[in-house]
Structure 1
Amino acid sequence: MLLLSGCKVKASVWKWLHIAISCFVTAGGLLLLKHSGVVTGGTAGLALSLSPILNIPFHYLFALLNLPFFVFSYFYMGKSFTFTTIIAIAILTGLSSLDSLLPAFTIPELPGAIIGGAFIGIGLIGLFRNGASLGGATILALYLHRKHGINPGKSNFAFDFIVIASSLFAYSLTNGLISVLSIAVTSTVLALLKRKLATVKPGESRAIHPASVN
């Protein structure tokens, strides 16, 4: 009994460790996109686009935009998944707020879009595998994947493209095209790694132990 309890605790620790690492990687991707002036999709991209217009810090706006999706998640993805997602968003929000402590800097658009998009894709895969998401379109993408087998890369690209298209009024066409490249990179990473997605039911997780990573 003690051994079983110890294994559960260890599995839980690995799960939250991987969630924290995934949030860190995703936050790095968002940081690259923000400082390269590239728009991304989902609620994160919408928050990045609206933040300078509404003069509201990104981390506050990001949390606010996710509230409606928590309701959907609660009813269709389960309590455990919703709780884990809320914690993941809180971690990402906290990490993103640290950007204000960094000195001002800029990154060239093209490398920022490619590397930032890849980081976000890798971070999302890590969250998906541990029964979490970053809210918004990622909840819908994971729901469609688990319920209907729809490629998460394709659905995520569709959602993100809509967000970017709606934000072009504030950006140039060139910036918009580079932003599309960014979400294409994210979607490609999701599509290539979709076999790594957890096939367990919503609310459950299948954390990756370092020894199992090739």
Structure 2
Amino acid sequence: MKKIAFQWYAILEGCFLVALGIFFLQSSELLVGGTAGVSALLNRHFELTFGTWFFIVNLPFFYLAIKQMGRTFTVRSFFCIGLVSLLSDALTLLIVLDTIPTWLAAFIGGGLIGIGLLLLFRHNTSLGGVNILALYLEKRFNIHSGKVILALDCVVLAAALHSYPIEKVAYSLVGFIVLSSVLGRYHKKAPVEQHSPQPERGRSKFSRLKWSFKKS
């Protein structure tokens, strides 16, 4: 029970840090990566909250999660998406940032999201969408999830050039690089299990068998 409680506490921490990072980026009108970025773009053109769009956009990716990542991973990811959606809207209503420099918001937002994702990845969950795809490619093809997330974030940035000023896109790229850097330095891929024989153990057994023959 203690282990399970610690695990869920870490998941809650990760969701809060991600929501806080998204809040910093949105407060400076910077773009968020992955499905969150797609949600932000939709939020500029349609009258739904960011949290609502974030939940809707992530739904199709759960098919991949159920098929390839397992039911436990899928259920936890679904919970995290719902929680981050609620927290993102709540923070927007509770806190107002007017004076933070754009470059600082990019660094803080990217760093907080990166640390939050680290906590979620280490406890076998994600925030759906790009995270599910990144973890699947890491598991299947041994491609680091940080590289996948950065590449897909750049695609979102390219799509945002029609809706965001070039200066905002440039600062958003800084936030994406900070996020990817945090994942690249601290996220450890799952080690490949080795099933090779253990020569030392076999040698010790052979030595004991040899000694028993000498003794007899």
Query: So what's the TM-score if we normalise by structure 2?
Result: 0.84
CA drift of 1:168 comes to 1.3
The change in CA–CA distance for 1:45 and 1:132 in structure 2 (over 3 A counts) is same
Give the aligned residue type for 2:82. Answer: A
User: 1:49: how far off?
Assistant: 2.0
Residue in structure 1 matched with residue 204 of structure 2 by the alignment: none
SS in structure 2 at match of 1:66: helix
Tell me what 1:210 maps to.
none
d(CA) in 1 for partners of 2:86 and 2:101? 25
Give 1:22's match in structure 2, choosing from 14, 30, 38: 14
Matched-pair identity in %: 37
Of the three residues 66, 72, 78, the one matched with 1:80 is 72
Q: Which residue of 2 aligns with 1:205?
A: none
8 A contact 1:128–1:198 mirrored in 2: no
2:146 to 149, 153, 162: 153
In the other structure, the counterpart of 1:136 is: 129
- List per-residue Cα deviations over 1:63-103 (Å, max 9, x = no partner): 00001001111111111100010011111112112134225
Query: Normalized against structure 1, the TM-score is what?
Result: 0.85
Contact 2:40 2:50 in 1 (8 A): yes
Tell me, yes or no, if the aligned pair for 2:30 and 2:171 is still in contact at 8 Å.
yes
Change in Cα spacing, 1:35 to 1:157, as seen in structure 2 (3 Å) is same
Matches within 5 A, 1:26-175: 26-106=18-98, 107-175=100-168
Q: CA deviation at 1:148?
A: 1.6
Secondary structure in 2 aligned to 1:170?
coil
Q: Distance in 2 between matches of 1:102 and 1:87?
A: 22
**Partner deviation per Cα, 1:163-190 (whole Å, 9 max, x = no partner):** 1110111111111111111111101110
The answer to whether 1:183 aligns with 2:176 is yes
If asked which structure has higher relative contact order (CA below 8 Å, sep 6+), I would say 1
The answer to whether the 8 A contact 2:25-2:106 is kept is yes
| Structure 2, unpaired ranges of 5+ | 194-216
Could you say which structure has the larger radius of gyration? 2
Note the aligned Cα RMSD (angstroms). 1.6
Number of residue pairs matched by the alignment: 192
Cα distance between partner residues in 2 of 1:115 and 1:103: 16
Tell me how far 1:108 sits from its aligned partner: 2.1
**Residues 129 and 198 in structure 1, CA contact (< 8 A), matched pair in contact too:** no
Q: Give, in whole Å, the separation in 2 of the partners of 1:34 and 1:100.
A: 9
Query: Shift of the alpha carbon at 1:105?
Result: 3.0
Stretches of structure 1 that go unaligned for 5 or more consecutive residues are 1-8, 202-214
